[in-house]
Amino acid sequence: GVSDLDSVEPVYETLPGWQEPTTEARSLTDLPSKARAYLDRMVELVETPIVLVSVGTKRSQVIQAA
Quote the pLDDT of residue 13.
Answer: 95
Report the distance separating Cα 7 and Cα 14, nearest Å.
Answer: 23
65, 49 contact by CB (below 8 A)? yes
> pTM for this structure?
0.82
Structural domains of the chain, with CATH:
2-64 (3.90.170.10)
Per-residue pLDDT of the chain (66 residues; tens, 9 = 90+): 778 888 889 989 999 999 999 999 999 999 999 999 999 999 999 999 999 999 999 999 999 997
Per residue in 3-35, is it b (16+ CB within 10 Å) or e — as a string? eeeeeeeeeeeeeeeeeeebeebeebeebeeeb
Quote the pLDDT of residue 33.
Answer: 98
